[in-house]
């Protein structure tokens, strides 16, 4: 399957919705960026399915005041879906000015669903 320009734009919007939702403490909106059986793997553990994703995002938003900044997004077709990768700069908004908390990379698998593009799996690896 080739990705159309519309697919690329929709996937970029998914990445943006994901970041806005987690940074704004909107756990349900963040979890909705995944397929119902989607997984998120981080140094905090692996979370699978809507309930675990929702619980992770709720806890994350309650603990941190951060801003996710992603760049250098690369997306390509992968079978019936797509795979993506990008860099993450995690900013601490508790400091003034905001300070760098961490840098990382995302490794993603995506599927086009009836509701649009969603993550089937997302893995974040911290650089240090």
Q: For the segment 3-32, what is each residue's pLDDT rounded down to a tens digit?
A: 999 999 999 999 999 999 999 999 999 999
Q: Give pLDDT tens digits for 111-125.
A: 999 999 999 999 999
**pTM of full prediction above 0.85:** yes
Residue 55's φ and ψ, nearest 5 degrees, are -65, -40
Residues 74 and 85 sit within 8 Å (Cβ to Cβ): yes
The pLDDT of residue 33 is: 98
What is residue 14's predicted lDDT score, i.e. its pLDDT? 98
> How distant, in Å, are the alpha carbons of 23, 25, 26, 36, 122 from that of 51?
19, 16, 14, 9, 16
Q: What was the pLDDT predicted at 10? A: 98
Selected residue with higher pLDDT from 45 and 128: 45
Residues 75-104, mean pLDDT to the nearest whole number: 95
Give per-residue pLDDT as tens, 34-83.
Answer: 999 999 999 989 999 999 999 999 988 777 789 999 999 999 999 999 99
pLDDT of residue 118: 98
Whose structure tokens read 């998120």? 40
Q: How far is CA 31 from CA 65, 103, 125, in A?
A: 18, 22, 19
Domain 5-126 of CATH type 3.40.630.30: no
């Amino acid at each position: 399957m080739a990705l159309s320009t519309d697919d690329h734009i929709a996937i970029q919007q998914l990445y943006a919705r994901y970041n806005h939702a987690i940074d704004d403490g909107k756990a349900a909106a963040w979890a909705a960026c995944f397929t119902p059986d989607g997984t998120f793997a981080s140094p905090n553990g692996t979370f699978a399915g809507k309930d675990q994703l929702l619980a992770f995002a709720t806890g994350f938003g309650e603990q941190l005041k951060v801003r996710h900044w992603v760049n250098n997004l690369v997306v390509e077709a992968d079978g019936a879906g797509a795979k993506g990768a990008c860099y993450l700069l995690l900013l601490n908004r508790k400091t003034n000015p905001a300070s760098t908390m961490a840098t990382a990379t995302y490794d993603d698998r995506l599927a086009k669903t009836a509701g649009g593009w969603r993550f089937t799996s997302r893995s974040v690896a911290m650089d240090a």
